[in-house]
Structure 1
Amino acid sequence: MRILCPNVDREDGLETVLEVPIPDEMFKSMGSNAALRWQNMATWMKAQTSDKWSSPIVAARYNELSFLLFMIGSPLIPFQIEIGQSVTRPVKHSSIEASTAKYILQQYIAATGGQPALNAVNSMCVVGQVKITASDFHQGDQNVKARKSEENGGFVLWQKNPDLWCLELLISGCKVISGSNGKISWRQSSNQIRPISKGPPRPLRRFLQGLDPRSIANLFANAVCIGEKIVCDQDCFILKLDTNQAALEAQSGPNYEILHHTIWGYFSQRSGLIIKFEDSRLLTVKTSRDDEGVFWETSTESVMGDYKYVDGVNVAHCGKTYVTVFRYGEHSANHKRQLEEKWKIEEVDFNVGRLTTEFFMPPSDFVNEHSRF
């Protein structure tokens, strides 16, 4: 991945450190030779202003990219993972399904390095690259497949705990900044056309794709085991967790309501590791008081692999995520769309020094508008 951009104006000038490293495929698409690619990169970096998005064609393109980044690049999970929660829970007075789930989590903790190694992690930084493809919206029950053309990009992810994190994700010149400062979570795309979205603090789904074993174990601490299934030629236990009504109401807004959100974790019986993470969400969006609303159902599944130890902690280094979006309702024809993301982790560092809470503050315009937070 490309980390530095040379000074194209002065040969003796210092190189610029890119905020988000970019994959080689994205760099190669910027021109026919290295000099032209760097020139185009520098031009793009200088052109991140609001007047750039005045063209309807450009605006439509970046709205599409923002949709991809929001839906598959930076989705959130509606569960609050308690920071001080013990990974291991007593099985006394638990049902058979809940007791089985706790035993499976104990095996998972051992497979990812053991509880002392997990508890020794107080922060992390992750650098990776993504390739995203998407289909158009198709009407009815047609089979849809993602287009062959790929959008390439990279991301940098920082975390101190599940409620204190920041993600910068860039694909094809469009950037999304997403984060949580412990009080609120927020997302904003670089084109400034979409308003900033905010809500209660929530963990980023990407952490739960094999990157943060302690959060994964704490997340499923109240889950139940509902059976077994073969995933990627491996026999797996299935753990299930439903979002409670209070959490759903807290994350609903004046014009939309989250009706349910369920997650599943598939843990290998052979290795003890989580190799598939799945969630399903249904919400309704209302345009008027008397409107019954349009329903949006989103099903997401991530398959993880290439586990490697980093400072004694076993984390996934690659995977694929599939998203299927259904839209239906009285005033909307049934539509279906499919998204796909291939991701690869380039670097993982734990216990990053000087990573203070100020690092996770929202953008300044957000702070000025919502100073009460």
Structure 2
Amino acid sequence: MRKLCPNIDKDDGLETVLEVPIPEEMFASMGNNATLRSQNMLSWMRAQNSDKWSQPLIAARINELRFLLYLVGSPLIPLQVQLGHSVQKPVKDCSIQASTAKYIVQQYIAATGGQPALNAVHSMCVTGHVKISVSEFHQGEDTTNVKTTQETGGFVLWQKDPDLWCLELVMSGCKVISGSNGKLSWRHSSNQRTPISKGPPRPLRRFLQAWLDPRSTANLFTDATCIGEKIIDDEDCFILKLETSPAVREAQSGPNYEIIHHTIWGYFSQRSGLLIQFEDSRLLRMRTKDDDDVFWETSTESVMTDYKYVDGVNIAHGGKTRVTVFRYGDQPANHSRQMEEKWKIEDVDFNIWGLTRLHFMPPAEILNEELAESTK
């Protein structure tokens, strides 16, 4: 991962530390020699706030990248995970399926390091890189090739108990920032002309996708039910299922859209107790200007590999995520699309000194809105 870049203000000045490290592969693609790569990287950084983003061709590419990063790189989990230090729940009056799920979660806690090791983690900083590719675009019964090549990027993820986190993800000149300050969560891109999306506080899917926070994962699935078994990559796994309640779906719906369902599945290895695969499926109904209903169905599947211990906590350092998106309801615009992300964790540090709530402040636009609402 490259952590330094040319000095923006002085060509002969000291190199600048990148806020988000980028993969060497991404830096190498910027030119065929070190001088050209540095010049192109410098131009790319200077262009972040320029009017070049408004040009039609560049704007179209940025919109495509933002779509990928929002949908694949920084999606949110529908449930607010409670981060109590104990995830043990009583099994009294539970069904067999629910009590079995609680037992499986306890085995997962042991496999990831045990309750004392998990409780010792109060904050973290993670750096890594991703590769996102897009498959064919299907419109109606026709198939059209999308000219999007494989994109490479890097990310930095900060987190602090109980529900403070911030993700910065850079890919091919587009930067997406997602965060939560404990009261609300938000996402926005480096193109400031786009509105900032915000909502109730929710955890980032990447926490569970890379299993960077096993305690959050255990808390999430402790209310699940065991619905059976399945073999995944020659591993016998238990299947835990979690349905989002109507109250949660209603709270996350808006005036122009409704979440019809959002379901989560976890596949836990019977041999190791670790989480091998994570899936979720969401169906969204949107109301168009013509007062028609359009449905968006998103199915996501993540497979985790390369588990390693960091300070006594066993977390996955690599994996693959596949996303399938269906849009239907408006016949001429019906289409489906598939995307794939390969990710790898480079560095993980726990219990970061000096990390406070000020590091998780939302953008100024959101702060101004909250201030305006509080003065009404």
TM value normalised by structure 1: 0.95
Partner residue of 2:252?
Answer: 251
Residue 47 of structure 1 aligns to a residue whose secondary structure is helix
Which stretch shifts more, 131-140 or 20-29? 131-140
Residue 136 of structure 1: how far off its partner (Å): 4.5
Residue 330 of structure 1: how far off its partner (Å): 4.0
Tell whether the 8 Å contact from 2:85 to 2:119 is kept in structure 1 after alignment.
no
> Aligned partners of 2:10 and 2:75: how far apart in 1?
41
Cα deviation, 1:45-64, whole Å, max 9, x if unaligned, reads: 11211512120111000000
Partner residue of 2:21?
Answer: 21
> Aligned partners of 1:12 and 1:152: how far apart in 2?
29
> Aligned partners of 1:191 and 1:14: how far apart in 2?
28
Say if 1:293 and 1:148 are closer, same or farther in 2 by CA, change over 3 A: closer
Residue 8 of structure 1: how far off its partner (Å): 7.5
2:291 aligned partner, one-letter code: D
Is residue 264 of structure 2 the alignment partner of residue 263 of structure 1?
yes
Tell whether the 8 Å contact from 1:294 to 1:332 is kept in structure 2 after alignment.
no
> Aligned partners of 1:44 and 1:146: how far apart in 2?
24
> Aligned partners of 2:59 and 2:146: how far apart in 1?
22
Say if 1:117 and 1:22 are closer, same or farther in 2 by CA, change over 3 A: same
Partner residue of 2:239?
Answer: 238
2:247 aligned partner, one-letter code: A
> Aligned partners of 1:36 and 1:83: how far apart in 2?
48
> Aligned partners of 1:257 and 1:85: how far apart in 2?
34
> Aligned partners of 2:144 and 2:96: how far apart in 1?
40
Partner residue of 1:217?
Answer: 218
Say if 1:292 and 1:3 are closer, same or farther in 2 by CA, change over 3 A: same
Cα deviation, 1:284-336, whole Å, max 9, x if unaligned, reads: 11124x72410000000000010000000000000000000000004554311
2:92 aligned partner, one-letter code: K
Residue 235 of structure 1: how far off its partner (Å): 0.5
Partner residue of 2:189?
Answer: 189
Residue 88 of structure 1 aligns to a residue whose secondary structure is coil
Give the alignment's Cα RMSD to 1 decimal.
1.9
Say if 1:150 and 1:330 are closer, same or farther in 2 by CA, change over 3 A: closer
Which structure 1 residue ranges, 4+ long, deviate > 6 Å from structure 2?
141-148
Unmatched segments (≥5 aa) in structure 1: none
Residue 78 of structure 1: how far off its partner (Å): 0.8
Residue 144 of structure 1: how far off its partner (Å): 9.2
Tell whether the 8 Å contact from 2:130 to 2:341 is kept in structure 1 after alignment.
yes
Partner residue of 1:95?
Answer: 95
Residue 207 of structure 1 aligns to a residue whose secondary structure is helix
Residue 370 of structure 1: how far off its partner (Å): 3.4
2:305 aligned partner, one-letter code: G
Cα deviation, 1:225-265, whole Å, max 9, x if unaligned, reads: 00000111100000000000111111111111111100000
Tell whether the 8 Å contact from 2:180 to 2:360 is kept in structure 1 after alignment.
yes
> Aligned partners of 1:32 and 1:370: how far apart in 2?
48
Say if 1:64 and 1:99 are closer, same or farther in 2 by CA, change over 3 A: same
Residue 10 of structure 1: how far off its partner (Å): 5.1
2:225 aligned partner, one-letter code: V
Tell whether the 8 Å contact from 1:81 to 1:162 is kept in structure 2 after alignment.
no
Residue 334 of structure 2 aligns to a residue whose secondary structure is strand
> Aligned partners of 2:94 and 2:100: how far apart in 1?
9
Is residue 287 of structure 2 the alignment partner of residue 286 of structure 1?
yes
> Aligned partners of 1:98 and 1:173: how far apart in 2?
46
Tell whether the 8 Å contact from 2:8 to 2:46 is kept in structure 1 after alignment.
no
Is residue 308 of structure 2 the alignment partner of residue 308 of structure 1?
yes
> Aligned partners of 2:138 and 2:191: how far apart in 1?
27
> Aligned partners of 1:143 and 1:107: how far apart in 2?
45
> Aligned partners of 2:218 and 2:145: how far apart in 1?
33
Please show how residues 293-372 of structure 1 align to structure 2 within 5 Å: 293-330=293-330, 332-371=332-371, 372=373
> Aligned partners of 2:29 and 2:12: how far apart in 1?
26
Is residue 202 of structure 2 the alignment partner of residue 202 of structure 1?
yes
Say if 1:226 and 1:310 are closer, same or farther in 2 by CA, change over 3 A: same
> Aligned partners of 1:103 and 1:249: how far apart in 2?
31
Residue 7 of structure 2 aligns to a residue whose secondary structure is coil
Tell whether the 8 Å contact from 1:53 to 1:191 is kept in structure 2 after alignment.
yes
Give percent identity, aligned residues only. 73
Unmatched segments (≥5 aa) in structure 2: none
> Aligned partners of 2:281 and 2:2: how far apart in 1?
35
Cα deviation, 1:26-85, whole Å, max 9, x if unaligned, reads: 101111101111111111111211512120111000000000000000000110111226
Cα deviation, 1:134-171, whole Å, max 9, x if unaligned, reads: 13531246789997831000000000136210000001
Partner residue of 1:106?
Answer: 106
Is residue 157 of structure 2 the alignment partner of residue 157 of structure 1?
yes
Aligned residues: 372
Tell whether the 8 Å contact from 1:2 to 1:24 is kept in structure 2 after alignment.
yes
1:301 aligned partner, one-letter code: E
> Aligned partners of 1:153 and 1:105: how far apart in 2?
33
